Amino acid sequence: MKRSILSALESEPDFSPKPQNGGVSSNQILMYAGYILIPLAIFLIILLWLYKRIKTRKQKLDSTNNKLASLDHDSKMDNKRIFSTVESKGKIDTSAESGLVSSSLVVLTSPEMTRMRFEDLLKSPAELVGRGQHGSVYKVVCEEQRMVLAVKRIKDWQISSDVFRQRMRRLNQVKHVNVMPTIAYYSSSQEKLLVYEYQKNGSLFRLIHANGNQTTFDWNIRLSIAATIANALSFMHEQLLYDRIPHGNLKSSNIFLNKNMEPCISEYGLIFEDNQQSIIANSVLQEAQENYHSLFKADTYAFGVILLEMLTGRTVLKDGLDLASWVVTVVREEWTVEVFDKNLVRQGASEERMVNMLQVAIRCVNKPPEARPSMKEVASAISAIREDDDRSIDVSELSSMTRSFVDV
Ligand SMILES: Nc1ncnc2c1ncn2[C@@H]1O[C@H](COP(=O)(O)OP(=O)(O)OP(=O)(O)O)[C@@H](O)[C@H]1O
């Protein structure tokens, strides 16, 4: 009987290897093992790599914080490296969004600084300039960038890094030539550093209260400084009204004279409200206006005190005496002329315009915030006094020219 090839083949004995484990061949076992082991190995390698990375970062942060802590024990260290080298090759992070930002320097403005790393800042020679209410300021010389910086280190600030970064970002969007920009900042949970350009011409406080020859700090310079600060402050208030960000800590030691001897307001907006949520939520006009008095009028008061310092030449607290109350008392007793800086009187500054300026200052230091003018009103009042002053100079120049003409 003939069989078909197919049936013949079907009846042939099967010599292929028989599956031993319930129908799975050894090749298949090897294949399945590969499927499981290779991803497991990759996963373990990634885990190891992540662990090493986190460990290095932690070591770097610990080391940085130790170096920062050591600053507290240094009073003045001329041309010394206050921090030893931090072994880290972290890149500069110019993006405030990145997760790296908490351990990096965020560069905001200066093109010279963009190659600067936090570690470079720590390694540069530094010197303690002074300690204020909120922290210490160091003069840091960055040779590579050819920059001299003022680095403010703020301790014990109960502000989250997120809120701090958000504030720095917003402030960076509002520019005025007479408001000193923050060049860079660093933020970790323990430390906040703010980097500014170092102002070698010193502060307005130093200019007012420097001993010795005060003839150079004449009426015209004082008037010009007052007008410039008032304009800059008025601009900032207008721009940051809905964000509810006033200066918050205005004083003559926070106003610097830049390289062109122009006054520049420093540390704008570094005071935070207690309830940070309100900053974000209260961006509607009505609420912003309701809280306007307590927030922005504190700056008006502070500006009034600066005007008083410039008019009287006295410090804010002299022998326990509060300058604003002292001036108000003297003026009430009608001894107005007594309040003015003797140098101004000696230089023959116009009494009428000094009194006008004093009136502006006294309105600014009114006790109830709502009785104080806005900075916009203050700026226009000062600019009117300035115009008056310019006109009087023109008239006196004209009369002296006429006199010399008649003499001839
Ligand atoms: N950018 C800068 N350039 C030069 N000197 C500066 C600069 N910033 C601050 N200083 C100086 O550093 C010293 C300390 O400043 P700091 O701001 O800490 O003190 P403060 O203004 O008295 O107090 P606060 O902490 O309330 O602002 C002051 O003498 C100040 O003039």
Distance from Cα 138 to the centre of ligand 1, integer Å: 9
pLDDT at 94: 34
Long-range contacts at 238-243 (CB < 8 A, ≥ 24 apart):
238/376, 239/174, 240/170, 240/174, 240/269, 241/288, 241/292, 241/296, 242/283, 242/284, 242/285, 242/288, 243/170, 243/279, 243/283
Q: Whose CA is nearest to atom 16 of ligand 1?
A: 132
pLDDT at 304: 96
Mutate to test the pocket of ligand 1, among 254, 315, 317 (most ligand atoms within 8 A of CB): 254
Distance from Cα 130 to the centre of ligand 1, integer Å: 6
pLDDT at 334: 80
Distance from Cα 137 to the centre of ligand 1, integer Å: 6
* 133 in contact with ligand 1, CB cutoff 6 A: yes
Map out the domains of the chain with their CATH numbers: 79-84+98-198 (3.30.200.20), 199-391 (1.10.510.10)
Return the structure tokens found at 267.
């540390």
Mutate to test the pocket of ligand 1, among 75, 127, 136, 137 (most ligand atoms within 8 A of CB): 137
* 259 in contact with ligand 1, CB cutoff 6 A: no
* 254 in contact with ligand 1, CB cutoff 6 A: yes
* 252 in contact with ligand 1, CB cutoff 6 A: no
Q: Provide CB contacts within 8 A for 232, sequence distance 6+.
A: 176, 177, 178, 179, 265
- The residue type of 375 is M
The C-alpha atoms of residue 316 and residue 309 are separated, in whole angstroms, by 7
Tens place of pLDDT per residue across the chain (408 aa): 444 434 443 444 444 445 555 566 788 888 888 888 888 989 999 999 888 888 877 676 565 555 544 544 443 343 344 333 222 333 333 333 333 333 578 888 777 777 777 777 888 889 999 988 778 999 999 887 788 999 999 877 778 888 899 999 999 999 999 999 999 998 887 788 999 999 999 999 999 988 665 557 899 999 999 999 999 999 999 999 989 899 999 999 999 999 899 999 999 998 886 544 444 344 445 555 566 667 899 999 999 999 999 999 988 875 556 899 889 888 888 878 889 998 898 888 899 999 999 999 999 999 999 999 999 999 999 999 999 888 876 666 555 655 554 454
Strands 105-107 and 80-81 turn out to be unpaired
Contact by Cβ (8 Å): 369, 294: yes
ipTM: 0.96
Kindly tell me the sign of the dihedral angle through the C-alpha atoms of 175, 135, 205, 320: positive
pLDDT at 278: 41
